[in-house]
Amino acid sequence: MTAANRSGTSGPAMSERKFAVLLLAHGTPETVEEVPEYLKNVVSGRAMPPHVVEEIQSRYSQIGTSPLTEWTLQQAALLQRKIGLPVYVGMRNWRPYIGDTVRRMRADGVTDAVAICLAPQNSRTSVGLYRRAAYAEAGNALRFHFIDAWADHPCLADAFAERLRPAWQEACRVIGTKVPVLFTAHSVPCRTIQVAAASGQPTETHAGPASQSTGRAKAPAATTASGPVRPTVEERSYALPPGASSGPDPYAIETKHTAGLVAERLAADGLTPRDWYFAFQSQGMSGGPWIGPTVEETLECLYREGHSGVVLQPIGFLCDHVEVLYDIDIAFQGLARKLGLQLFRPESLNASPLLIAALADLASQGLLQLGAAPLEHPSALELSKQE
């Protein structure tokens, strides 16, 4: 995992310092009527075609509401209880906005905070937006230690494996044979990764729920597979050291690495490297290629290979929201039925104790970097064993 420390010049004396944690997420509207305003935030104020706005409103109406904010606030409350320090939540594209939250932290007297992106796999393009929003309101009064990549945290992999194992075992029982696992993460436009590699400048990586998932692939993907893709998980790419401004964006490889770590934890249950695949989901409606392969084309390939069932396990999302409740549970389920596939999805992490243990460990590491005294609680791995 990587982190960047913004130290400032001279901080307050230890007795005057107040430590906290800031959880950062993408954000989601709470009602269908709020969708147009939310989408403007996602695309930095650019106008979106009316039919796109109507499509996204339709998706929100079909799932009722996106519980992302509710789950994130619950995760923050559980983490606060675990570490005994204030935990705040800031959203990039909706309330509570990052800027508003940072101002509240300053008003509360917070001087030092660990900022944790709730997207474990690092994309410098999107992380850059979180950073800028937080630092813009921090001034010289609030110092951050920014944790922007934790794709390989053992408790994260344990948490996903804990959810995947019973779902995969049940799928194999129902289908009557070993069922493949398809790991997924949110796609991003190719241009954003290319921009990051060329200049290191942050740009928005995706349009949240403004995705093309309709039960069939519609937009071009950067990678088109003639068969389902088994990634080479030996590849590894880490975020650049603090201050570096160029190099390949690690997101695509980070996501596959997390999937590989989760799959390894099911090896004792019979899941082999030939039993799992990887695809990117929720490609946006904007023009230009998005990284692939897509879930849609991968499901079609699995069907052509003779499979009658598949377990779809997202590993980039930490709770239920529209990309899970609509894209997977409605759109991909609909496509799977048309193909003759039975699609199973494990429960999302949501309030998983193992996830909270991972966040507690990240917070502990960051607080030590800020000069705080060690927290009076066991390590994350010990915490996970106690749950």
186-205 confidence digits (pLDDT tens):
998 887 776 554 444 433 33
Of the pLDDT bands very low, low, confident and very high (cuts 50, 70, 90), residue 247 is low
Between residues 129 and 111, which one has the greater pLDDT? 111
- Does one domain contain both 251 and 322? yes
**Residue 340: both structure tokens together:** 């003759």
The residues near 202 (Cβ < 8 Å, ≥ 6 apart) are 124, 125, 126, 127, 128, 129, 131, 132, 196
Q: What is the pLDDT of residue 122?
A: 85
Max mean pLDDT among 41-50, 103-112, 223-232 falls in: 103-112
Q: What is the pLDDT of residue 192?
A: 74
- Give me the domain span that covers residue 95: 2-151+351-386
- How is the chain split among helix, strand and coil, in percent rounded to 5? 45, 15, 40
- Does one domain contain both 126 and 140? yes
Q: 129 pLDDT exceeds 80?
A: yes
Model pLDDT for residues 306-322, shown as the tens digit of each residue: 999 999 999 999 999 99
Question: Where do the DSSP E strands lie in the chain?
Answer: 2-5, 19-25, 87-91, 112-117, 143-149, 181-186, 276-281, 309-314, 342-344
Q: What is the pLDDT of residue 321?
A: 97
- Does one domain contain both 188 and 332? yes
- Does one domain contain both 195 and 319? yes
Average confidence (pLDDT) over 346-363: 98
Model pLDDT for residues 200-243, shown as the tens digit of each residue: 443 333 334 445 544 333 333 434 445 676 654 343 333 344 44
Of 70, 86, 37, 60, the closest CA to residue 209 belongs to 60
Q: What is the pLDDT of residue 48?
A: 87
Q: How many domains does the chain have?
A: 2
- Does one domain contain both 172 and 202? yes
- Does one domain contain both 172 and 133? no
- Does one domain contain both 192 and 207? yes
**Residue 55: both structure tokens together:** 């499509």
Q: What is the pLDDT of residue 383?
A: 47
Between residues 96 and 381, which one has the greater pLDDT? 96
CB atoms within 10 A of CB 14: 9
Q: What is the pLDDT of residue 134?
A: 95
- Does one domain contain both 309 and 160? yes
Q: What is the pLDDT of residue 378?
A: 45
Mapped onto helix, strand or coil, the DSSP state of residue 192 is helix
- Does one domain contain both 192 and 145? no
Model pLDDT for residues 70-105, shown as the tens digit of each residue: 999 999 999 999 999 999 999 999 999 999 999 999
Cα gap 298→188, rounded to integer Å? 17
CB atoms within 10 A of CB 104: 14
CATH number of residue 119's parent domain: 3.40.50.1400
Q: 360 pLDDT exceeds 80?
A: yes
In a 13 Å sphere around the CA of 161, the CA atoms on its Cβ side amount to 19
Question: Where do the DSSP E strands lie in 136-275?
Answer: 143-149, 181-186
Between residues 7 and 31, which one has the greater pLDDT? 31
Q: What is the pLDDT of residue 189?
A: 86
Cα-based distances in Å from 231 to 69, 256, 258:
32, 7, 11
Q: What is the pLDDT of residue 249?
A: 85
- Does one domain contain both 13 and 126? yes
Q: 248 pLDDT exceeds 50?
A: yes
- Does one domain contain both 310 and 365? no
Average confidence (pLDDT) over 56-67: 95
Average confidence (pLDDT) over 372-382: 62
- Does one domain contain both 37 and 130? yes
The residues near 78 (Cβ < 8 Å, ≥ 6 apart) are 351, 356
Q: What is the pLDDT of residue 287?
A: 67
Burial class (CB in 10 A: 0-12, 13-18, 19+), 54: exposed
